[in-house]
Structure 1
């Protein structure tokens, strides 16, 4: 073997890395996580394995991960096959992680979301207003979960006057959407079932994975929420969780506790508000009573009590004076309006289209006459100039010179001969006189 064909370990490892990256590129790989460790830098290292093999993986800080990595989790990872050169070990640089089966669920979620959006189930025009001070609230949730306890504690503390109706349903596993749909249907016919009619319905449960919350992504439940005549609040999962129920409900609360806070105004704040209203109302009532008391006192001590006939006569006379004043004012007003109308009519007459056209025609005729005069004067001056130039040209022209006994000679082509040296023997010459011309031949 030639020495130049021997590769160093680094060179061979680098070629292997280039072959792996160039041939395989980025791929999705499915398996179980083991030996997971999180470094202080934020990078995560783990092994992805199945029954037959294992693959070393590294996920650098900043990569997208929709799940919390832990040993035993069945995941699908997306990344690039590479080689860690210092150890000569091939590995996968993970860019994205999702739970096994999550990809198909996400695709179903997006497809249903797009379909219902196109049908208009998410339109704001169909959203019902949530009552500000509800009297009856129905909670559709598990009777044993943490969500119901949180909502009851908040409602009891903030608004103890609200009547809470708990409709127990499963919130995980098979049949969740069917029980929730049945709850909505019964609550919308609560009076027929002997139940108090709720002002608002809350569908709630705690957070979970996409699989745990999938029942709230079912189309049948979405259509049942949309069909509800009672406003529905969706309080499913944590703040970062979104389901189809959130989009179609009349209001989405980030958590069940937040839904309870939205429904129940703080009793302390309400008390302060009512106390403020009471003080304002009391002040207005006292002011009104004082005013009426002053009026009654004035009537009791005034002339109306001692001489009512005189007071009435005086008032009637004052009314007559006001009537006369009104007539005078009306006449003055009408006279002023008449003058204004005449002024406006005069302006209209002066600006009538016929008058304006006549004035414009008169102006145009005057301008045409002025223009004609200017053109005539201009032409006369030009004619005088032409005559003067003609006389000058005649005086300075060749005919005047020939008349004084002069002549000039040209060749046969009409070129003027100015120098005898330019004439060749035998050349034809033409001499022009005042009367006629003489043809000669040079010798």
Structure 2
């Protein structure tokens, strides 16, 4: 029975043996991977692929990894850090691009991939699609909201301009500002297209915003970001997110003047005001000085005309009212007529009254006869003789008056300032007869007069504790006390 190990056909053997007449040695995985790498790189040393970016990822090392795909196939791609830093746009998923590079293999995963040297957006349509996608994303963050817009100053003292210092844009702006309203202009030179232009524009905007008021360089009141016209590729730097965010975060009002009137960039949406051209931006920035002077002069003339206008209007209104007022004689005519009427009525009334009195008197003539009058006098005399004056009435009235006089006398005695002198009190008077009420007032007097009940004595005040004995001045004759006034008027309390 033949052994299974003796089978000449090694296709089903357990141990690999070289075949008779076969010179193909088995290759290692590394060897076959290297052969495949050489074949692919030799055959596809330079290719340009068009596809949609997918799975875009930037590693911490700076390398860019992505995949390019179309409707039915996918190929991995890698872009080394040096080339990735020179990209003029930010790669994102969904962007259709054209990648230039060479095909190679990655033995670690047994995959083939393209090493990308340059990456471009595939046509203007793809570029516009990227622009719209970025616009929607930034708009969703509120960077284009109207409430974020700041009002432009009416007359900015300092204007900052972010543009190329060698182009025609800065000359147009300076010329237009000089014609309208000469202002102080600060130019921050930047690249306005190409690699690195977006970063320079963003840095210039942030630099103006971070300037301090009162520093060595004046802080602008207004910033103009300007560039001339061009294709969408030329203006792409102003669509970069870094520029849009710098403009949106700027604390100074910004006018965006990028391109011509038909050109629109994301910087226009983020700016506080969009100008169709750089020249129009200069016109927006400042008013026309000549027009302002004319307006001020016109206002001055209007003020001069308006100042006397109220007086003139008042005079016209007064004249109109005066014309409507009646004449004084017209106003007094009814009263004069009424006065004449009343005077006539008074005259007639007095005459009538006198006539009536005369008639009444004539009617009472009998009552005024002499016998009648004498009879009335006799009756009045009899009534007077019958009336008696009782003594008690006069006595009571006299007693009441005596009691009232006694009360006034007691009040006089109680208020008499010299009454206490009889009880041992004295009155101290200074020069001129003024009454001294305190020790302090007495020390200021050169001579004091002490009044007793029986006379007066002059004395010189001496400070207490001085050791000197008080010396009395020669006594003056005692003043005779005045008798109480009998006329009813109170005597002077101070002599």
Question: Do the two structures share a fold, i.e. TM-score over 0.5?
Answer: no
TM-score by length of 2: 0.38
TM-score by length of 1: 0.42
